[in-house]
Amino acid sequence: MADTERPQIYLVTPPEFELELFPQRLAAVLDATGIACIRLSLATRDEDRVARAADALREVAHARDVALVIENHVLLVDRLGLDGVHLTDGARSVRKVRKDLGGDAIVGAFCGVTRHEGISAGEAGADYVAFGPVGETPLGDGSRVEFELFEWWSEMIEVPVVAEGALTAELVAQFGPVTDFFGIGEEIWRAEDPVAAMRALLAPLG
């Protein structure tokens, strides 16, 4: 990606939220910041809860021409009128999911910190590849994605890349020139004012 291009924002929902309140919080962020895509990333396995959340967020997102993808639940994409799916198992199921959902659906793949997995996902038909965590987090095994991976990817690979996980304003400044998207979620949702938190996080981009 050229240094002059500003990375786009890929918004990730919290793993759980109150359906009565969250759509309004989401709408406020969408109205204040240009958002390219939203990922519904609920921890629950309750199909009814997922479906109700998807319905509510789809209404907010599509009213503003923002795409909404769902994490892993491939079978719900068509049923709920969503724009695609975000897969968390790297390249493993990209080819099959692409075939099942067709060429118009968004198919993204989270590939952790592994360059090879990202390349495989891109070759299998992923619309974007996400790597993370970029920042330090006590979650997972403590591994972080290297800046050099993004640097190399931005020069060598055309598949859009997402930097996500424990982002800070400093990391946004550092990774801005070498990523196409920033995946932002808990960084803003845990704040009392998500719009202000987003502005502070993205301040280095100008």
The CATH number that applies at residue 149 is 3.20.20.70
Model pLDDT, residue 11: 98
Two tokens, residue 114: 């592994």
pTM: 0.96
DSSP character string of 113-154:
T-HHHHHHHHHTT-SEEEE---S--SSTTS----HHHHHHHH
**What are the distances in angstroms from CA 101 to CA 28, 58, 75, 113, 114?**
31, 18, 9, 26, 25
Mean pLDDT by 10 residues, the chain (206 residues): 72 97 98 97 96 98 98 97 97 97 97 97 98 90 94 97 98 98 98 98 95
Please report, as a single letter, which amino acid is at residue 78.
D
Residue 43 in domain: yes
Residue 42 in domain: yes
Residue 1 in domain: no
Residue 3 in domain: no
Model pLDDT, residue 142: 84
d(CA 135, CA 131): 11
Please report, as a single letter, which amino acid is at residue 71.
E
Residue 140 in domain: yes
Q: How many domains does the chain have?
A: 1
Residue 142 in domain: yes
Residue 91 in domain: yes
Model pLDDT, residue 40: 98
Strands (E), the chain: 8-12, 37-40, 67-71, 84-87, 106-110, 128-131, 161-164, 181-184
Identify the domain containing residue 81 by its residue range.
8-205
Model pLDDT, residue 138: 84
